[in-house]
Amino acid sequence: MGDSLTIRIDEALALVSRDDGRTWALSQSAAAEIRQIVSGTEQSDELHLMTAVAAASLAEAHAVRPRPIPTSVPATVMFSGPEVKLGPLARPITRSFGEVIGSRRSERSYRSLGPGDLATLLVTAARVQAWRESEDGYQMTARPVPSAGARHPYELAILIDDVTSLRRGLWHFDPTRCTLIFRHCDQVRLEPAIAAVREAADLRSAPPAIIFPVAHMDRTLARYPGGSTLVWRDAGSLLAVLHLTASACELSSSIIGTSGVLETTAATQDVGALAVGARGRSRTAEKRGA
Ligand SMILES: Cc1cc2nc3c(=O)[nH]c(=O)nc-3n(C[C@H](O)[C@H](O)[C@H](O)COP(=O)(O)O)c2cc1C
């Protein structure tokens, strides 16, 4: 596995990597030659269940190691805009863990949320509880959710459609200050994300809120060069904790398997989502059950 190479060529990138994360840029001529080979190859009738990407992910997971030489990357992003403080709105959760884990289900019928519901969910599941600087200068944080190397490579983008007293549009959750920061309400930019979530969960209309974990790959890769699978595994932890916390708050929620439906860059992308609302049958009920 150590000598295996994975090649990624798209409009913006032409890269070749070893499983341990060492990466080189391919020349335009090499990329063009590889494209030519692929376009000239007859597709086999055989169904390949093990794709090159899946094989590379398994090999990368096997090879993942911390980088010996520290490299620094920022551990947070900063947005400015109108803010709502969530701390004072959050309520204590009284349901026992046994009750929550014993009754959790994916639910796809949503009524509008109160700001206290959203505050309780985000503050309970995603706040920063403590921090310290690591040897590479990275701000390591402790949160309710575990993360490989405490790198916490996800920021939460919250797409609000129907939360009492909160403006519709895209918000950012600041996990240190426990505030929501308004980003924009440009429906043209947001509609593809709403449509993708509705389609994936078979919903009649937009859920009251959708929480999108947005991956910042560099946070984890700066410490683990072959660590992209750690980022995927972190997404599972984060979404599971958000979903269980929603259940503990007696909210209706479902993990959604979309990815890259909000605006993305080469290094940041939404990975999955959590659709959330208050419990009860409503206009958003999934089509198949309605
Ligand atoms: C990674 C992941 C992706 C999922 N994607 C979707 C999805 O796109 N649409 C959807 O309706 N449910 C989605 N779900 C929810 C599953 O369909 C659900 O967990 C499964 O049917 C079992 O039901 P339960 O969660 O009620 O036990 C997803 C769950 C996980 C863990």
Q: What is the pLDDT of residues 92-149, one digit of tens each?
A: 999 999 999 999 999 999 999 999 999 999 999 999 999 998 887 889 999 999 999 9
**179: CA distance to ligand 1 center in Å?**
29
Least confident of 55-64, 246-255, 269-278: 55-64
> Among residues 155, 123, 132, which one has the least CA distance to residue 219?
155
- Each residue's pLDDT tens digit, 218-238: 999 999 999 999 999 999 999
| Ligand 1: residue whose CA is nearest its atom 11 | 201
pLDDT for residue 48 is more than 80: no
Q: Is 86 in the pocket of ligand 1 (CB under 6 A)?
A: no
Helix residue ranges per DSSP H, 49-127: 52-63, 97-103, 115-126
> What are the structure tokens assigned to 15, written together?
């890269």
Bridge partners, residue 121, by sequence: none
Q: Is 255 in the pocket of ligand 1 (CB under 6 A)?
A: yes
User: For residues 106 and 253, what is the distance between their CA atoms, to the nearest angstrom?
Assistant: 6
Contact 260, 266 (CB under 8 A): no
Kindly state the average pLDDT of the residues 87-93: 97
pLDDT for residue 290 is more than 50: no
Handedness of CA 157, 130, 178, 146 (dihedral sign): positive
Stated pTM of the model? 0.93
Q: What is the pLDDT of residue 67?
A: 86
